[in-house]
Each structure stands twice: as C-alpha cells, then as structure tokens.
Amino acid sequence: MHILLTNDDGLTAQGILTAYAALKNRGHQVTVCAPDHQRSASSQSVTLREPIKVAPWAMPDGSLGFAVYGTPADCARLGFSVLAKNPVDMVISGINDDYNLGFDINYSGTVAAALEAAAAGYPALAVSMERTNNYDWKVAAHVLLAVMNNISSWNIPQGVAVNLNIPARLSTSRNDWFWARPHLAPNEDFYEGEPHPDGSVLYRRLRNLNQGFESSDEEPTTDVGHARLGRITLSPIVPHGSHEATLNRLTTSRGHVF
C-alpha cells in the first residue's frame, strides 16, 4: 500500500518518525510530505496568495521526503496531487503528540490534513496520542497498525475521515477500541493578562485539562468521555457543511428583499 504521511508538528517530530518506521517495517511504500516546522492549530487553512516552497528532505532511512513551507492542508493537497510519484492508497496524518478530541478537532492541523484528503476521495486517518512526560511510541505504532489492518473492512464512505486517539496509559486490552461521536460542546476559554511596556496587554490562553471531559461514573457516549477512561477512541468525521435539519425546515421559506 502506498501511504502519504503528513502531520502538523513538522518533519522532525517523534510522532511522524514513529509512524514512518512502523509503516515501512510493515512493507508499505511511504511518501512523507509534512510542514517544515510546527504548525499546530492551523486548522484547514491553505496558502492562496503566494507560492508554497517545497524542499527535499532526507528521511532516517535515506528515502526522499518533502518539507513543505505551508500548512498541513497544503501538505496533504500537494502530496496526493503533485509530490507522490505513484497513486496514493491512503493518507495518514500524525502521530500527533497530544489528543485531538471534541471541539478541538475544529482547530487541529492533524485532523485538517486528514479531512482534506478525505474530501478528495482518499481513505484518511488522523492519529493522535495523549500528551505525557513519557511517550510509549511503541504502543502508538502498535495501535496505528492494528487500526490500519481493519480500516478497509469498515466501509468508511468517501469524504469521511477517521480520527484515532490513543491514551498514554491504556486501561483496556491493546486490541480494544471504541467508536464515538466527538464531544462538540465549545471549550470554555481561560486567559491570563500580562501588561506590556507599550501600554497594551498580552493575553495567554490557559489550557483547562478537564474541559469537556465527562464523568467516568457512567458509560460515555463521546470521544472525550472514552478518553477519560483511558480508551482508544475512533470517530468518523467530516468537514463542516450545512445543518441539514435547519435547511430542511427552512427550504420552503421565502423572503423578499424589495
């Protein structure tokens, strides 16, 4: 299988190097097309008004990769349309070094690259691992490969990406995963202000580690609820479109401007 591999953490991130080694060891052809530096939280932004610089990049085994001076979505689009010399069978984005769960999938560059590929008709997988002081990248690689072995049997529709999140410490068997919808309640923002000498104020967003996480007293129904229990979570996701229920309700409504 020919896999286009990208991320939002850059070419030197341990997550993408782990995914690359695991996929190559399984005999897959892998084309790496990733940002030249950290591009987290860039969402599905693309470069429109200037050319995108692409430079050759030597992977650890000597294979040719591509450093893209653009966003993760740029990387995916350039990868499957121009840079991959052979037809791409699947696009994988990650392994990201923090969860991409709940409402945060709207900001994630990791998820955005997978959504871009899915929209173009490619099977697409976004992979993220819970942030920790001691990453077990072998576990992450094991889970990634296990999901890949099953993804073709799930009959994921065209245009739908799969968002995979791996806890730092698994509380269940490594072969167990749970399907769930994203918890899409908006995050509560916390900011801390610091006066600047020029009279302005610098505000830093504080990360609330518990926001959006459901109680573990009951069986969870969303991705963040499963993550709280230390479970591997899979979610089928699509780019935002129209709200069908509202559209159906209002489609016969007519208004007059003049």
Cα dist from 136 to 95, 144, 169, 170, whole Å: 12, 13, 9, 11
The whole-number pLDDT of residue 218 equals 59
How does residue 209 score in pLDDT terms, banded at 50, 70 and 90? very low
In this prediction, residue 217 carries a pLDDT of 53
Q: Quick check: is 152 in a domain?
A: yes
Asked if 7 and 126 count as a contact pair (C-beta separation under 8 A), the reply is no
Q: Label residue 213 by pLDDT band (50, 70, 90).
A: low
Which pTM does this prediction carry?
A: 0.87
Residue 76 in any domain: the answer is yes
Please report whether residue 247 resides in a domain.
no
- Residue 198 has a CB neighbour count (10 Å cut-off) of 5
Rounded CA separation 36/98 (Å): 19
- In a domain, residue 206? The reply is no
pLDDT tens column, 189-206: 788 999 999 999 999 888
Segment 142-156, tens digit of pLDDT: 999 999 999 989 999
Q: What is the CATH number of the domain that holds 136?
A: 3.40.1210.10
Q: What are phi and psi of 126, to 5 degrees?
A: -100, 130
Q: Is residue 194 in a domain?
A: no
pLDDT at 46: 85
Higher-pLDDT residue of 173 and 47 is: 47
Closest CA to 21 of 68, 74, 65, 82: 65
Q: What is the pLDDT of residue 258?
A: 74
The answer on pLDDT for 216 being more than 70 is no
Q: How many CA atoms lie within 13 A of 141 on its CB side?
A: 17
What's the total number of domains in the chain?
Answer: 1
**In sequence order, what E strands does 122-160 have?**
124-129
d(CA 180, CA 55): 39
Task: Answer whether residue 201 is part of any domain.
Answer: no
Residue 23 domain flag? yes
pLDDT of 171 over the 90 cut: no
27 pLDDT band, cuts 50/70/90, is: very high
pLDDT at 88 exceeding the cut of 80: yes
Domain that holds residue 224: 2-188+218-240
The pLDDT assigned to 230 comes to: 87
pLDDT tens by residue, 231-251: 999 999 988 776 677 778 887
Name 162's Cβ contacts closer than 8 Å, sequence gap at least 6: 114, 124, 125, 126, 147, 151, 154, 156, 234, 235, 236, 237
In a domain, 208, yes or no: no
